[in-house]
Structure 1
């Protein structure tokens, strides 16, 4: 049944709304399984009941009329059990409930499977037969598989339909994601999509149909010209079959029926990019649904052609879009480069359909003090361009078309945040010292020049992590040695004489360079961090030379190596750094050899801390990646975001082991992960003995306020209480209880709802 399964999923993905999705499901499942009935029940979120939403075989007048609570009837039992129910004689089951309006008294055989999405039962898929028989294992397995495959599509169709209805009425609605960066943003959405992704073109209507039709024709002509030129340029290198592909592209663009389809949609006031994307995706799905493998393979050609024209359409339509004041940026998968494109004075919030609270873009958002929500998987973002929205970065909530009362409540929260910031301003020039006299250095994580002023105003004692990859991510090529020198010099001068710790290029994982692609099945366990730069010494040498040149006369540079998993990588890196140092001395630069440190981010480094500490000048823990690798959780994956927990007992014990071992050989230890910027995390780290905590500038005041309000002795008692606990949730409760007990929870704005992990 694999072919049937694939064809149903493709048809569902091509459907325009929820009713079409459900109609396809009940009709196709009934055909394929040769049953008399197929029905779908969906959850009513407001009432909590499950409603008959579509059927092929029961009385169609019963649709929307039959409601079942969880546990009520056979369908309600499927919901509460969260597993299939397969019965030979449904009417004999004690939970059987008869609804005269459905006409289902004729059917004995019953098979119902739950449709589960994000751990919640979204609905129930049911098939029925007149004769008394038990559906066999293959049939049950097919229905279970189909339910799992369709759950996401149904949820997305539900959300899209809800927004379409609400959009016309401008009614308030709500979506939930993962709290990624604290704060509240009240503004207007701006959708960002890849230039050539047909599936990501946002829904938009056009104001002037004639202008849009002209743009479409111009884009077609430009695409035809480009394809002809490419085909001509490559004709000597291509086989006749490959040259024929270019001819096929031209032929498709010349096909008047294709243009007519698009023009008809534009005349219905769709924008040209959206009309083109809809038509081309329909053609792609038709090819994908064909049984002949040759024609199925042509779907990729159609998609490629569609992408080529789409790029021209977007270039024709707009070169530079104006960003409104109070912009809330929304995309399928935001990146640091996308955030940097928006003028900072206009950007107030960020929302990403993919990702989690520990993804790279979430960390950048926190560093910028930008409220952000990640992993809003059910959000049909392409339909909400330019609408009013509230982003609640404490709860992970989005409110579309917020009403006056909701806006008023969030305005009060924004005012409270501003007052809290003013209340903590006086701490900037005071040291981070506990009430019983223990001194801790607080540093900042930076990556942009915009961070500098904010960091110094808030009392940063240096830079614990300068993300050198950010300038690389913002360019379309590798920056030259001189360009790097200028960037690094600005940072070093701004903080001098305070230390600036620069991490060598850390790409790979979720940080990809468009001009240096790394295609891997498992990027976080692959070619990333120091592995890339040791394989490309020309990149590494240019970078460390630029760093050391920039430090001339300042001598406040520290170099840090990411993703070190063994001594051989440290030694290989040190040899290159020493080589660059000697070269610069020979060239006449008056510089001192900077301290060279190691980031402890992978489990192997935890168990070699002693050897690493004996050969390095300092140790810094990257707790974000260390947590990821210890718990085997991809921190960008919203499906497992609830498993990622920096207060997991295994993480805390590893952190304690690192600092204890490094101190035993006389090496200072810092930490530059997100845990250091959380009040509870900072208390535990100070109790463990960490010398330096590095965090984003936004968190500096509240961490300083936290440390000045506690005694180190009490922090030790808290650590001893939680280090032997067995689960992260118990540890978090104990830490929050401590913060509340000492009166910090309200001062630091740490309500129960502040952080939602998934």
Structure 2
């Protein structure tokens, strides 16, 4: 059997994506797989965790009356065998197999060939996908590969349905599964329990979920209002362009109005609303049906009408969304959920009602995540498996420490997380008293604690928590909030605010670090692998115009203050440091020529790629200081994308390779008489901070929210205890064991309360 696998999968995925519920999705899969593979039977069995049985949920070829009725225990039949083995089973004479189980009601006794593959999602078997044929033969490798690939596609669909409850009873309304867990990446620390408020992308037909109408009459009225608003909008556009378009081009708007006035389409939408569907869902359903119909036509002109239908459907949907938004009541404990949260969305919910954020897209370093940390809102980013459009109104738990989301949490899960929230509240009260106390160990080792900032909003929080300086000012943030490059004067004003706010304490300003997961909308960088591409110092050295303007702005902003330090990101070799230093000295000369009396600030290098680790001594010899970016260094050293939830478990800054690299950089910098600091999530982990202090770091820089915890813990231990602990873990080769040993050591000292507030949760 020759199958154009990619093309076929793409077609099936598209059909499954437009299915209104799980029943329809499974129906599409069994029909299309049977058709593509040329088999007589295709069936899906889903595992019911409550009953511990595999239930026949969809079939083409077997008796459909058996759907929902035939089931097998985990240790029963060929389906059970596939589930237990978690691998494909390919038989040419299935009835002869010792595990074959015969169900008269299915009518499968006449089918001999059997190929079953497990449907697995996040290491959990969710079901089995089966094809069968009358003739005795083994399915070939291509057919097996296709079915395995199809089951991988199906696993995500089932996981979404399971989380929202539609898996039960094949799409009939049911209570969502309790404690459905979704992985993302930590965006902002903390825990939140609240009600999901889903914000859908504007006028995106694909994102509209099914939802039961509260009032059918109101939904019908809303639809008619949106239809009339769309008509007015089209007439307005036609009138505005009347003089610039030829008559045949103006006729397009007449076509649009005809479609909007077509009683067939509007009648179909109203009929669906009367069944209890809300207006937005009815518009999506009918419009997508018509799009599919036009797309399938042979005539090119008629196929083009699919684009017209889509455009008009989006216009009507947009007006419906506007009307709906004005009526939505935001709950007291609101958790904002969206495919991609934007800063503008944050402004649509009253700050005192917003307790958490969940974004399907985005990373822990995205602008929204930075804003969330500044606002102290627990956030999970990159929750790619989350069926976000179906969660509106459900209770959620957002664990911003581990990057986890629980939908419809059980009483027990809620109890555990409420205890974490209460402990957090009590802990913060106790730590406030430390604000003006120095971070000093019990045997007198002084450890300066600095903060990572990027917004003016960070300043107040940082100073309130006793920050002694800024170890990392993300200068790209002012660039990200604008729609063009900020001018030298605009940059100067922004930098001056930061430098003055922390004066006389040092402020380390990193030069523009864009690319990777920090794009600028007005300076797009399209690359196959952006994290190994054109980013950081590589961009600014290629654009000295951007670099010189920024450095001049920094130098002028620091005039008369003397607390500016300049940090260069993504340095991978001495030549980049030398070239950047030359440009900084050139900018300094230009500023002095303009009459601004400013001293040359210290210039530092960020150590965040492996090449810099092995050149640390040479770099330290030519720089004034080193600063390790622990987030990127962990990512590059372990070859793990830190923003990808699929490999989140592999991203671990307790990895022995990273610990060795950190210690080496400190020793090399000190050998040249230069200070070395560390910024990133690791520095803000109180337990990891003990190891970093033992290694000899001269300062730690972290998120302001983490500073009180780190200070409290370091004030409870001695430098000698920290070095004993470091010596103990340096001989270990497993990051999980290292983490456990560190936690246990500190707990035995009675210091476990600040290590990880959510670490005791067993959900």
Q: TM-score, normalised by structure 2?
A: 0.88
2:23 corresponds to which of 8, 19, 34: 19
Deviation at residue 328 of structure 1 after TM alignment: 1.5
Q: Which range is displaced more, 258-267 or 18-27?
A: 258-267
Other-structure match for 1:210: 221
- Deviation string for 1:501-560 (max 9, x for gaps)? 112222221222233332222221222222223333333233222222222222211121
1:557-572 paired onto structure 2 within 5 Å: 557-572=564-579
Worse-superposed segment, 396-405 or 529-538: 396-405
SS of aligned partner of 2:336: strand
Secondary structure (helix, strand or coil) at the match of 1:497 reads coil
Cα distance between partner residues in 2 of 1:585 and 1:339: 43
| Offset, 1:288 | 6.3
Do the aligned residues in 1 keep the contact of 2:44 with 2:128 (CA within 8 Å)? yes
Alignment check: 8 A CA contact 1:202 1:385 kept: no
- Give the Cα separation in 1 of the matches to 2:159 and 2:756: 34
Gap change, CA 1:277 and 1:633, over 3 Å in 2: farther
> Which whole-Å deviations, capped at 9, do the CAs of 1:610-635 have from their partners, x for residues lacking one?
22222222111111111111222222
Partner residue, 2:193: 186
Check conservation: 1:219, 1:313, Cα contact below 8 A: no
Give the one of 613, 617, 621 matched to 2:628.
Answer: 621
Deviation digits for residues 81-100 of structure 1, max 9, x if unmatched?
22211111222223223334
Displacement after TM superposition at 1:302 (Å): 6.5
Does the 8 A contact of 2:423 with 2:757 survive in 1? no
1:712 equivalent to 2:716? Answer no
The equivalent residue for 1:537 is 544
Structure 1, residues 691-744: CA drift from partner, whole Å, max 9, x if none? 111111111111112212222223223223323432322222222222222222
Q: Which residue of 2 aligns with 1:476?
A: 483
SS of residue matched to 1:419: helix
Aligned partners of 2:205 and 2:317 also within 8 Å: yes
CA distance in 2, matches of 1:341, 1:476: 21
Q: Please state if 1:76 is matched with 2:80.
A: yes
Unaligned runs of 5+ in 2: none
Q: Contact 2:179–2:410 at 8 Å: present in 1 too?
A: no
Secondary structure at the residue paired with 1:519? coil
Equivalent runs, 1:469-548 vs 2, <5 Å? 469-548=476-555
Query: Once the two structures are superposed, what CA deviation does each residue of 1:338-381 show, in whole Å capped at 9, x if it has no partner?
Result: 55775544432111224566767556544543222344334321
Q: Equivalent residue of 2:683, what SS?
A: helix
Aligned counterpart, 1:55:
59
The 8 Å contact of residues 397 and 409 in structure 2, kept in 1 or not, is answered as yes
Do structure 1's residue 159 and structure 2's residue 163 form an aligned pair? yes
Residue 646 in 1 paired to residue 639 in 2?
Answer: no
* Structure 2: distance between partners of 1:605 and 1:737: 33
2:435 maps to 1:428: yes
The equivalences for 1:205-284 within 5 A come to 208=218, 209-223=220-234, 225-226=236-237, 251=255, 254-255=258-259, 256=262, 257-262=264-269, 264-265=271-272, 274-284=281-291
Q: Matches of 1:514 and 1:493 in 2, distance apart?
A: 30
Post-superposition Cα deviations, 1:267-292, rounded to whole Å, max 9, x if no partner, equal 66766655444444445555666799
- How far apart in 1 are the matches of 2:693 and 2:481? 35
| Bigger Cα displacement from structure 2, 562-571 vs 613-622 | 562-571
Instruction: Note the alpha carbon deviations across 1:162-186, whole angstroms, 9 max, x for none.
Output: 3999997776733313362442213
1:637 and 1:550 mapped to 2: Cα distance?
A: 38
Pairwise CA RMSD of aligned residues? 3.5
Aligned length: 749
CA distance, structure 1, for counterparts of residue 651 and residue 291 of structure 2: 38
Structure-2 change in CA distance of 1:754 and 1:594 (3 Å): farther
In structure 2, which of residues 671, 681, 686 is the aligned counterpart of residue 674 of structure 1? 681
Counterpart in the other structure of 1:745 = 752
SS, match of residue 675 in structure 1: coil
| Aligned counterpart, 1:630 | 637
1:42-191 pair list within 5 angstroms = 42-162=46-166, 173-178=178-183, 180=186, 181-191=188-198
Deviation digits for residues 555-604 of structure 1, max 9, x if unmatched? 21112122222233323322332233222222232322222211111222
CA distance in 2, matches of 1:755, 1:502: 41
Q: Is the Cα–Cα contact under 8 Å of residues 374 and 457 in structure 2 kept in the other structure?
A: no
- Secondary structure at the aligned position of 1:162 is classed as coil
- Against the structure 1 CA distance between its residues 266 and 512, is the aligned structure 2 distance closer, same or farther, given a 3 Å change threshold? farther
Q: Are the structure 2 counterparts of residues 751 and 260 from structure 1 closer, same or farther at C-alpha, using a change threshold of 3 Å? A: closer
TM-score, with length taken from structure 1: 0.88
Q: Is 1:686 equivalent to 2:686 in the alignment?
A: no
User: CA 1:669–1:230 in 2, change beyond 3 Å: closer, same or farther?
Assistant: farther
Is the Cα contact below 8 Å between 1:368 and 1:698 reproduced in 2?
no
Of 444, 447, 451 in structure 2, the residue corresponding to residue 444 of structure 1 is 451
2:560 is the alignment partner of 1:556: no
Please state whether the residue corresponding to 2:179 is helix, strand or coil: strand
Q: Is the 8 A contact 2:416 2:761 kept in 1?
A: no
Structure 2 residue aligned with 1:351: 358
5+ residue gaps, structure 1: none
CA 1:210–1:673 in structure 2 vs 1: closer, same or farther (change >3 Å)? Answer: same
Cα distance, 1:305 vs. partner? 6.7
* Equivalent residues of 1:77, 1:95 under 8 A apart: yes
Give 3-state SS (helix, strand or coil) of 1:95's partner: coil
Q: Secondary structure at the match of 1:475?
A: coil
Q: Answer yes or no: is the 8 Å Cα contact 1:683–1:715 preserved in 2.
A: yes
Secondary structure of the 2:115 match is strand
Q: Secondary structure at 2:727's aligned position in 1? A: helix
CA deviations over 1:385-418 (Å, ceiling 9, x no partner): 3544332335655454567776565444322211
Tell me: CA distance 1:352–1:283, structure 2 relative to 1, closer, same or farther (3 Å): same
Change (3 A) 1:294 1:655: farther
SS in 1 for 2:46: strand
Shift of 1:311: 5.5
Matches within 5 A, 1:350-389: 350-354=357-361, 361-362=368-369, 365-389=372-396
Q: Counterpart of 1:391?
A: 398
Please say if residues 608 and 633 of structure 2, whose CA atoms lie closer than 8 Å, have aligned partners that are also in contact.
yes
State the alpha-carbon separation in 1 of the partners of residues 760 and 295 from structure 2.
Answer: 45
Q: Give the match for residue 672 of structure 2.
A: 665
1:729 paired with 2:736, answer yes
More moved, 613-622 vs 358-367: 358-367
Residue by residue, what CA displacement relative to the aligned partner does 1:475-515 show, whole Å, maximum 9, x if unpaired?
33333333322222222222111111112222221222233
CA contact (8 A) 1:116 1:122 kept: yes
Secondary structure in structure 2 of the residue aligned to 1:348: strand
Secondary structure, aligned partner of 1:578: helix
Range with bigger deviation, 393-402 or 679-688: 393-402
User: CA 1:224 to 1:515, structure 2 compared with 1: closer, same or farther past 3 Å?
Assistant: farther
